[in-house]
Amino acid sequence: MKKYSLPPLPYAYNALEPVISAEIMTLHHTKHHQAYVNGANAALERLEKQRKGENPENIRGILRDLSFNLSGHKLHSVFWPNMAPPGKGGGAPGGAIADQINKDFGSFENFKKQFSDAAKNVEAVGWAILTYDAESETLVIYQVEKQNFMHPPDLPLLLTLDVWEHAYYLQYKNDRGAYVDKWWEVVNWDDVDKRFTKAKG
């Protein structure tokens, strides 16, 4: 089986400053994301051993670990390219995603407010996510608590915002709201638009 591996960042660790510090980006990528990659690989090894009768542990614990770590890996793998250095990132979206946002939310400002509210109000730690449901032909915002998709929905991740404390605490302390408000300056709308276009088919 091919192992999961840590994808490289599409920019330097200090590239998102002053919005997100190099220290946060370095720890977040090399420690936290790496830990999810390792955790997903370890859980799969435990499952493999169980299939061979070499691991008597309860499968429920293994699957929980797999879900937690693999979801963490997948979410972070979208989170990094969802961002770009200030100047390149930020501003308002263009292209098809801009039209869809206007159609579904009335305006970009309305969308930004609702997405920010979702991120700021995640209970404890988790994620705000923008997805597109091709069945209802609409953009959908949702929250993830921790990162445990116990049942992964068949919806693509277009835009993900990590609101675990490791994503902002070293710079913004307990002020998640300030981090979320500032984060818009590094959103890579070209990347979001690419994901949206693919999701629409």
User: Interface residues with Fe ion (CB under 5 A)?
Assistant: 162, 164
**How near is the Cβ of 125 to Fe ion at its closest, in Å?**
9
- Of the pair 105, 164, the CB lying nearest Fe ion is at 164
What is the Cα Rg of the chain in Å?
A: 18
- Angle separating helix axes 34-51 and 59-79, nearest 10 degrees: 150
**How near is the Cβ of 147 to Fe ion at its closest, in Å?**
8
- Of the pair 29, 195, the CB lying nearest Fe ion is at 29
Q: H/E element holding 145?
A: strand 138-145
- Of the pair 162, 193, the CB lying nearest Fe ion is at 162
197 and 96 Cβ atoms separated by less than 8 Å: yes
125 and 163 Cβ atoms separated by less than 8 Å: yes
**How near is the Cβ of 18 to Fe ion at its closest, in Å?**
20
177 and 96 Cβ atoms separated by less than 8 Å: no
**How near is the Cβ of 71 to Fe ion at its closest, in Å?**
11
Token code pair at residue 106: 């009335």
Token code pair at residue 91: 């501003």
Distance, in Å, from the CA atom of 161 to the CA atom of 69, rounded to the nearest integer, reads: 17
Distance, in Å, from the CA atom of 185 to the CA atom of 38, rounded to the nearest integer, reads: 31
- Of the pair 23, 48, the CB lying nearest Fe ion is at 23
- Of the pair 162, 191, the CB lying nearest Fe ion is at 162
Q: Which residue is nearest to Fe ion (CB)?
A: 162
- For residue 144, give the DSSP letter: E
**How near is the Cβ of 163 to Fe ion at its closest, in Å?**
9
